[in-house]
C-alpha cells in the first residue's frame, strides 16, 4: 500500500516577507534548494487593510509543505523585478498577474516587460473589461445592471436579499451628481452586505 501524504494546509507553509529590492535574490536562493520546486506565483489585493498588493510565490516540497515568499508593492506604482531569467515557466504567471492586477514586472534595468494579453481581450478589442478585474476596487458593472437570478420573485421577495458579489452600494457607484467627485476605492471594495430591495 502506498504511503499517503496528509492534505496540504496553509499552516504547513513557511511564509517569509521579502522587500521588493530583495525579491530576485531570495527567489534565487530558494530555487537553488534541490528539495523545493516552483509551484505558482500570484497576487492579492490588500485594499481595506493596506494600500498595497501582496505578490506571492510558492515553492513546493515533496511532503506537501512549502515555502511562500511575499513581497508588498504600492498600489500607486505596482512594480516588481521579473523572475523570467531565474525560473522557466514563471512568465505565464507574471503575465496573468499583470493582466488581472496591473502589476508591472520589470527587467533588471527597471523597464516594465511587455505584457501581451494572455487571458483577457486586447485593450482595443471587443470585450475588453476596461481595467484589472481582480482588483477589489474594480466595479462589475454587468452585475449591477443584469437581473440577478434571485430577483425572479417567489419566497425571496419577503426576505432580505444579499447584493451580488462585486456590486457596490448604489449610493457609492452609479448615477451621481457631476460635482460629487470619485468614490473612495476602499468604500467600493468593501462588501455591500445585505440590503433590502
Calculate the alpha carbon distances from 108 to 30, 36, 81, 174 in Å: 19, 25, 7, 42
Domain coordinates in residue numbering, the chain: 11-106, 141-195
> Which CATH superfamily groups domain 11-106?
NADH:ubiquinone oxidoreductase Nqo5 subunit (3.30.460.80)
Instruction: Note the pLDDT of residue 114.
Output: 77
How many whole angstroms separate alpha carbon 167 and alpha carbon 175?
14
Angle made by CA atoms 91, 44, 85, in degrees to the nearest 5: 20
pLDDT, position 93: 95
Instruction: Give the H or E element holding residue 184.
Output: none
Question: How high is the pLDDT of residue 158?
Answer: 47
97-153 pLDDT per residue, tens: 999 999 999 988 778 887 677 888 887 777 777 788 888 888 776 666 666 565 555
Contact (CB, 8 A) for 30 and 3: no
Tell me what the pLDDT averaged over the chain comes to.
79
Amino acid at each position: 500500500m502506498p504511503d499517503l501524504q496528509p492534505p496540504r494546509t496553509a499552516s504547513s507553509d513557511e511564509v517569509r516577507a521579502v522587500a521588493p529590492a530583495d525579491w530576485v535574490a531570495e527567489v534565487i536562493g530558494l530555487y537553488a534548494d534541490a528539495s523545493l520546486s516552483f509551484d505558482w506565483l500570484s497576487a492579492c489585493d490588500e485594499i481595506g487593510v493596506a494600500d498595497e498588493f501582496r505578490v506571492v510565490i510558492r515553492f513546493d516540497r515533496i511532503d506537501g509543505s512549502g515555502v511562500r515568499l511575499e513581497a508588498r508593492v504600492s498600489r500607486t506604482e505596482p512594480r516588481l523585478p521579473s523572475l523570467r531569467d531565474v525560473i522557466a515557466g514563471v512568465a505565464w504567471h507574471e503575465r496573468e498577474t499583470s493582466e488581472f492586477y496591473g502589476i508591472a514586472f520589470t527587467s533588471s534595468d527597471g523597464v516594465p516587460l511587455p505584457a501581451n494579453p494572455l487571458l483577457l481581450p486586447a485593450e482595443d478589442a471587443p470585450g475588453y473589461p476596461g481595467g484589472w478585474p481582480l482588483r477589489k476596487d474594480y466595479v462589475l458593472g454587468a452585475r449591477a445592471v443584469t437581473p440577478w437570478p434571485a430577483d425572479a420573485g417567489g419566497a425571496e421577495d419577503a426576505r432580505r436579499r444579499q447584493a451580488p458579489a462585486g456590486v457596490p452600494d448604489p449610493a457609492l457607484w452609479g448615477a451621481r451628481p457631476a460635482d460629487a467627485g470619485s468614490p473612495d476605492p476602499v468604500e467600493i471594495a468593501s462588501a455591500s452586505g445585505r440590503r433590502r430591495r
